[in-house]
Structure 1
Amino acid sequence: MRRSDVTRHDGRWVGLSLDVQDRHQPGLCVFSAGPRLLVSQQSRAVLLADVDERLAGVEFWRTGEYRSFVPPLRADVGRVLAGSPQRWAHRFAQYLVDSPDSPLHEGRWLLSCESPLQRRCRAGTSHAEYWGSMLVEGHPDGYIDWFFHAGSWEVLPLRPMPGPGDSSVKAYRRQAREGTLPPVLLWWVSGLDCHLILDGHARLAAAIAESIEPPLLQLHRTVPRDDLAARIDDAVGFYEDELARFAGLRAVHGPAVPDGAATAGPQLVRLLHDLNTAAQLTWAWPLPGGEARWRRVAQEVTAGQDWPRT
């Protein structure tokens, strides 16, 4: 895997670009069977989902079988890496690459300290209130509401969230107060239109209990390397076409017309930046056996309960 830092035009660090090769199917994999999804870790069913036929949301069932591929994070490591999302990103990237249980597969990914979740907190709303509201409730089953939370990209824990009195949460609350809390690792899954917590359930619970903004690292796919050169050519072509258009206007109307660089230049910078940062749809593999297999798995993990209810 090749990794490289992604920065904005002003030099501000955004995240790590991960170029993964020779990893055809991930250990933590999304399978699809029509409108139904199965998230599996190796051979273990982790999450089943059934998309509402009106496309208003998703019913889900968590099995409790998810296992984080991130080893326990020691408090002394948190103190050493405190305030450096870049160093944390390199550490988490290594965990993602080394573990057969991670969602990485071949292609380009971004592991970023920026998330749209952070931009949606309204002024006057406490961090505890906001982040508590972004958690999808329900165990083992629940509903991701696409109508009420359209575009808000909620957070779905892969196991029940621990309470504020949990021993791990208590330890992390101390780190939260000290400013040394390690980041929560999220994975945006387009088929669910929400983030799954890959690691950091207790850390997120601690941040909510202390009402601080949790440090985040968000993982998602970006533009595939096969498309990158063509997309760059398109962006540069747009820039050149804009300059040519303004040149034509100047020829007719005189030098009072700007040359267009002040408009087209920033647009080109944004387009090129998006090629390294914009989220692409999550890959899903066809589930062997299709919907019949999905229903058999659902029967097994729910012990024959009446789910899904639609």
Structure 2
Amino acid sequence: MRRGDVTRDDGTWTGLSLDVRDRHRPGLCVFSAGPRLLLSQQARPVLLALVDEHLDGVDFWRTDEYRSCVPPLRADTARALAGSPERWAHRFAQYLAGSPDGPLHEGRWLLTCESPLRRLRHADTPHAEYGGSMLVDGHPDGYIDWFFHSHAWEILPLRPMPDADDSRVKAYRKQAREGTLPPVLVWRVSGLDCHLILDGHARLAAAIAESVEPPLLQLHRTVPRDDLAARIDEAVGSYEDELARFAELRAVHGPTVPDGAATAGPRLARLVHDLNTGERPTWAWPLPGGEDRWHRVAREVTAGQDWPRT
């Protein structure tokens, strides 16, 4: 896997690009059978989901089979990397690349601290209130509401959130107060229109309990390398065409006409940055056995309960 830092024009670090090769199917894999989804980790069902026929939301059933690909984070490591999302991104990239249980597959990915989850909070809304409102409730079953939370990209834990007095949460609450809390690693899954917590359930619970903004690193697919190069070439061509158009105008009307660089240049920079960081839909593989297999797995993990009730 090749890694590369992504920065803005002013040098501000915005993310870490991960170019993954020779990994055709991930260990943590989304399978689909029509409107039915199965998130599986190796052979273990982690999450079953059914998209509402009216596209109002998703019914889900969560098992207790998810295992994080990130090992326990030591307090001394948290202090050493505190306040540096860039260094944390490189650390998490090592874990993701080295684990057979993660979501990475062939293609280009981005680990970024610029998650929309951080931009949606109103300034007068306490972090505890906002963080709690973004969590999808329900265990083992629940509902991701696309009607009231359209494009809000809620957070779906892959295991039950621990209580505020849990021993791990208490330890992280101290780090939250000190400003050394490690980031929560989330994965943007477009088929669910939400973020799944890959690692950091207790850290997020600690941030909510202390009403502080949780540090986040979001993982999502982005434009593949070959496609990126072609689209950047296309953008550069459009930029050159725009400058040529202004040059023709200057030739006719004189130097009072601007050369166009003041508008075309920033537009090109924004486009290249967006191409470098923009989200692409999450890949899903056809579920072997189709809907029959999905229903069979549902009966097994729910012990024959009447789910989904549709």
Matching residue's letter, 2:2: R
CA shift digits 1:263-283 (9 cap, x unpaired)? 110111011111221111111
Deviation at 1:232, TM superposition (A): 1.0
Partner residue in 2 for 1:181: 181
What runs of 5+ residues in structure 1 fail to find an aligned partner?
A: none
Deviation at 1:233, TM superposition (A): 1.2
Partner residue in 2 for 1:223: 223
TM-score by length of 1: 0.98
Partner residue in 2 for 1:272: 272
- Whole-Å Cα distance in 1 between the matches of residues 284 and 240 of structure 2? 37
Alignment root-mean-square deviation, CA: 1.0
Query: Percent of counterpart pairs with the same letter?
Result: 82
Whether 1:299 aligns to 2:299 is yes
Deviation at 1:76, TM superposition (A): 1.1
Matching residue's letter, 2:237: G
Whether 1:287 aligns to 2:287 is yes
- Whole-Å Cα distance in 1 between the matches of residues 105 and 39 of structure 2? 14
Deviation at 1:240, TM superposition (A): 1.5
Question: Matches of residues 23-172 of structure 1 in structure 2 within 5 Å?
Answer: 23-172=23-172
State the secondary structure of the residue aligned to 2:197. strand
Deviation at 1:195, TM superposition (A): 0.3
Matching residue's letter, 1:285: W
Matching residue's letter, 1:8: R
Matching residue's letter, 2:15: G
- Whole-Å Cα distance in 2 between the matches of residues 130 and 192 of structure 1? 20
Matching residue's letter, 1:281: P
CA shift digits 1:122-141 (9 cap, x unpaired)? 01100001111000111111
Partner residue in 1 for 2:17: 17
Deviation at 1:237, TM superposition (A): 1.5
Give the paired residue count: 310
Matching residue's letter, 2:115: S
CA shift digits 1:184-233 (9 cap, x unpaired)? 00000010011000000000000000000001111001101221221111
Question: Matches of residues 186-201 of structure 1 in structure 2 within 5 Å?
Answer: 186-201=186-201
Q: Which moved more, 1:29-38 or 1:236-245?
A: 236-245
State the secondary structure of the residue aligned to 1:47. strand
TM-score by length of 2: 0.98
- Whole-Å Cα distance in 1 between the matches of residues 222 and 266 of structure 2? 21
- Whole-Å Cα distance in 2 between the matches of residues 47 and 27 of structure 1? 14
Deviation at 1:252, TM superposition (A): 4.1
Q: Spell out structure 1 runs of 4+ moving beyond 4 A.
A: none
CA shift digits 1:46-89 (9 cap, x unpaired)? 00110111111111110111011111111111111111111111
Matching residue's letter, 1:230: A
